[in-house]
């Protein structure tokens, strides 16, 4: 007798067989390729039905490795949208038969509400966009990212699955960083490892996204997870995490990203003063080693560090003497001018660059003929989506940190505080590092922030469910 729950597997087996037969029977290249992709898709659905967390890990690997862009740059079809569709279908099928989607999410609800308000603001901004095609593309990207957030939230349902997902992120970023260091060591910059590791024209490591500053931002966001794992794990694993930390730090150094350097200092400060037991000798030792190591750094690193001092110079004109600082100042002031002109909806999602020349002339700080980015995520959101977009985005951030803080408070009442407080702290520091770097960088790769948000939501959802289950089990034992 065939049970109702067996039907999807029978259907998938028949479909798999049909695709295999098509691939073998038709020698046409396109048919064979699509049949093979279909086989892979069906196999992936079946695997995710058995182990849903696999879906989250696949999406995290795809996003953090930027593999879809590597595919399209090499003339292959992009994979991220099909992956989202496959994972989403698998989640729905599994939920129908065994239940996978958490239906009661009051602890994460406020963050989700503001996320959709932000989506509404981005959609509404199309009404004022001078280039609506760019706005539509931004809307589609944001909708896709939100779909990924929910896929991850629904796939990760157990504490060990969440820990495994963080480990996947660490491994992916460490592996990509190692490829970048191999490029630097060999001097063979043309070897990009299928575009997974790139070096820009100034010999700065740029990761798979080919943007040194934003790659530095991603590294800063992942480093806290490595450090907290290194502090918490057993002595056998500490060495592995220490090795990963060294690779990430050397990679960060070679991005030559001043915003990344500053964000890392903020991360280091938070780890030392807020999330570890304060040890004056340890802090003094770290500072002393850092100061003594500065003269040993190669000249190009020291020169890059020295340009940051212009920000604290008593000479107010020092900022404008450095070309990149002058450009960033112009771009930020231009963004504020756009907002002043369109305070409610902004100039339209993704429309800052096409409006830059018009408003930069009003500022008159520099003359450039090409389109420019806002070089600040907050200025970009304010100028492109106005007050509605900016306030809803800040609402996401505010309630995200409030949610994590409340989770820590709940854990203090339980025996699980020591185990999980460090994981929550790692998420908090990671978000702060990313958001601090975002002061100097626009949102071209904001999907990395959404992935951090998805992991934060999943962690809180998992822990509340875990605590509820533990309380329920305790009550059952008492009543037995």
Cβ distance 182 to 226 under 8 Å? Answer: no
Per-residue pLDDT for 335 more than 80?
yes
Which range marks the domain in which residue 165 is found?
A: 106-479
Instruction: Show the CA angle centred on residue 212, arms to residues 250 and 310, nearest 5°.
Output: 85
pLDDT band at 299 (very low <50, low <70, confident <90, very high): low
Tokens in use for 73?
């740059």
What's the whole-number mean pLDDT along residues 338-364?
91
Query: Which element (helix H / strand E) includes 199?
Result: strand 198-199
Per-residue pLDDT for 149 more than 80?
yes
Residue 21 or residue 186, greater confidence:
186
Per-residue pLDDT for 217 more than 60?
yes
Question: What is the Cα–Cα distance from 382 to 333, expressed in whole angstroms?
Answer: 12
Q: Where are the beta strands (DSSP E) in 211-284?
A: none
53-85 pLDDT tens trace = 888 999 999 999 998 888 888 777 777 888 888
Residue 306 or residue 164, greater confidence:
164
Residue 5 forms part of a structural domain: no
What's the whole-number mean pLDDT along residues 233-254?
88
User: According to the model, what pLDDT value does residue 105 have?
Assistant: 73
User: According to the model, what pLDDT value does residue 462 have?
Assistant: 93
459-474 pLDDT tens trace = 999 998 888 776 545 4
Question: In degrees rounded to 5, what are phi and psi of residue 187?
Answer: 75, 5
Per-residue pLDDT for 323 more than 60?
no
Comparing 76-80, 107-111, 200-204, the range with the smallest average pLDDT is 76-80
Report CA-CA distances (Å) from 456 to 3, 131, 133, 185, 310: 38, 34, 32, 36, 36
Tokens in use for 311?
């920000």
Per-residue pLDDT for 6 more than 60?
no
Which three-class secondary structure string do you get for 413-438? Answer: CCCCHHHHHHHHHHHHHHHHHHHHHC
Report CA-CA distances (Å) from 364 to 323, 330, 334: 15, 8, 10
Residue 97 forms part of a structural domain: no
Per-residue pLDDT for 429 more than 80?
yes
Per-residue pLDDT for 2 more than 50?
no
Residue 130 forms part of a structural domain: yes
Residue 397 or residue 419, greater confidence:
397
Question: What is the Cα–Cα distance from 4 to 8, expressed in whole angstroms?
Answer: 8
Most confident among 197-206, 264-273, 429-438 (mean pLDDT): 429-438
What's the whole-number mean pLDDT along residues 42-59?
81
Query: Which element (helix H / strand E) includes 205?
Result: strand 205-207
**198 forms bridges with which residues in the sheet?**
207
pLDDT band at 320 (very low <50, low <70, confident <90, very high): very low
pLDDT band at 329 (very low <50, low <70, confident <90, very high): confident
Residue 150 or residue 271, greater confidence:
150
**205 forms bridges with which residues in the sheet?**
199
CA nearest 254: which of 298, 310, 286, 224? 298
Residue 43 forms part of a structural domain: no
For the chain, what is the mean pLDDT? 82
What's the whole-number mean pLDDT along residues 142-157?
94
User: Other C-beta atoms within 10 Å of 8: how many?
Assistant: 17
Per-residue pLDDT for 344 more than 50?
yes
Q: 433: burial class by Cβ within 10 Å (0-12, 13-18, 19+)?
A: buried
User: According to the model, what pLDDT value does residue 307 have?
Assistant: 57
CA nearest 301: which of 261, 247, 243? 261
Share of the chain above pLDDT 90, in %: 49
Per-residue pLDDT for 296 more than 60?
no
User: According to the model, what pLDDT value does residue 144 have?
Assistant: 94
User: According to the model, what pLDDT value does residue 112 have?
Assistant: 96
Question: What is the Cα–Cα distance from 305 to 262, expressed in whole angstroms?
Answer: 10
pTM here is 0.86
Q: Is 317 helix (H, G, I), strand (E, B) or coil?
A: coil
Report CA-CA distances (Å) from 116 to 147, 396, 460: 11, 10, 19
Residue 417 forms part of a structural domain: yes
Domain count within the chain = 1
What's the whole-number mean pLDDT along residues 175-201?
91
What's the maximum distance between 2 C-alpha atoms anywhere in the chain? Answer: 84
Residue 94 or residue 260, greater confidence:
260
User: Other C-beta atoms within 10 Å of 290: how many?
Assistant: 11
Question: What is the Cα–Cα distance from 170 to 115, expressed in whole angstroms?
Answer: 26
Q: 67: burial class by Cβ within 10 Å (0-12, 13-18, 19+)?
A: buried
User: According to the model, what pLDDT value does residue 87 have?
Assistant: 85
Per-residue pLDDT for 322 more than 60?
no
pLDDT band at 37 (very low <50, low <70, confident <90, very high): low
Per-residue pLDDT for 366 more than 70?
no
Residue 210 forms part of a structural domain: yes
Q: Which residue has the tokens 């007050």?
A: 387
Tokens in use for 334?
């231009």
User: According to the model, what pLDDT value does residue 450 have?
Assistant: 98
Share of the chain above pLDDT 70, in %: 76
pLDDT band at 277 (very low <50, low <70, confident <90, very high): low
Per-residue pLDDT for 377 more than 50?
yes
Q: Is 202 helix (H, G, I), strand (E, B) or coil?
A: coil
**Overall size of the chain counted in residues:** 480
Question: What is the Cα–Cα distance from 56 to 44, expressed in whole angstroms?
Answer: 12
What's the whole-number mean pLDDT along residues 311-329?
56
Residue 46 forms part of a structural domain: no
Per-residue pLDDT for 414 more than 70?
yes
Residue 13 forms part of a structural domain: no
Report CA-CA distances (Å) from 451 to 109, 446, 454: 17, 9, 5
């Amino acid at each position: 007798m065939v049970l109702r729950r067996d039907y999807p597997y029978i259907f998938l087996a028949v479909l798999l067989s049909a695709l295999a037969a098509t691939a073998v029977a038709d020698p046409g290249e396109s048919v064979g390729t699509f049949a093979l992709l279909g086989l892979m898709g069906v196999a992936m659905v079946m695997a995710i039905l058995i182990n849903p967390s696999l879906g989250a890990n696949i999406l995290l690997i795809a996003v953090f490795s930027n593999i879809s862009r590597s595919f399209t740059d090499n003339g292959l079809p992009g994979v991220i949208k099909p992956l989202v569709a496959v994972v989403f279908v698998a989640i729905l099928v599994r939920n129908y038969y065994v239940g996978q989607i958490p239906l009661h999410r009051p602890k994460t609800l406020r963050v989700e509400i503001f996320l959709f308000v932000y989506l509404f603001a981005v959609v509404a901004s199309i009404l004022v966009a001078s280039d609506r095609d760019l706005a539509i593309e931004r809307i589609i990207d944001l909708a896709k990212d939100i779909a990924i957030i929910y896929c991850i939230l629904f796939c990760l349902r157990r504490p060990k699955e969440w820990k495994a997902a963080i480990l996947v992120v660490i491994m992916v970023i460490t592996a990509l960083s190692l490829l970048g260091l191999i490029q630097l060591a060999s001097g063979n910059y043309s070897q990009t490892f299928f575009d997974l590791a790139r070096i820009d024209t100034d010999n700065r490591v740029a990761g798979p996204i080919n943007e040194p500053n934003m790659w530095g931002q991603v590294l800063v966001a992942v480093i806290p997870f490595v450090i907290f794992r290194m502090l918490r794990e057993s002595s056998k694993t500490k060495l592995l995490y220490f090795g990963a930390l060294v690779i990430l730090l050397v990679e960060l150094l070679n991005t030559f990203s001043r915003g990344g350097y500053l964000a890392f200092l903020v991360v280091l400060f938070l780890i030392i003063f807020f999330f570890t037991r304060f040890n004056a000798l340890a802090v003094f030792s770290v500072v002393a080693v850092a100061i003594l190591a500065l003269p040993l750094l190669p000249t190009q690193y020291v020169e890059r560090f020295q340009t940051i001092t212009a920000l604290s110079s008593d000479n107010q004109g020092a900022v404008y003497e450095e070309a990149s600082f002058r450009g960033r100042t112009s771009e930020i002031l231009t963004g504020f001018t756009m907002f002043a002109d369109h305070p409610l909806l902004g100039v339209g999602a993704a429309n800052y660059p096409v409006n830059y020349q018009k408003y930069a002339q009003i500022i008159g700080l520099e003359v450039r003929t090409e389109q420019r980015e806002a070089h600040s995520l907050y200025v970009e959101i304010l100028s492109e989506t106005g007050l509605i977009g900016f306030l809803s985005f800040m609402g996401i951030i505010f309630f995200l940190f409030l949610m994590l803080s409340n989770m820590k408070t709940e854990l203090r009442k339980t025996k699980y505080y020591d185990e999980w407080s460090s994981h929550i702290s790692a998420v908090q520091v990671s978000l702060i590092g990313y958001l601090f770097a975002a002061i100097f960088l626009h949102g071209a790769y904001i999907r990395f922030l959404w992935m951090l948000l998805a992991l934060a939501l999943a962690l809180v959802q998992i822990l509340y469910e875990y605590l509820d289950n533990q309380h329920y089990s305790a009550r059952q034992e008492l009543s037995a």
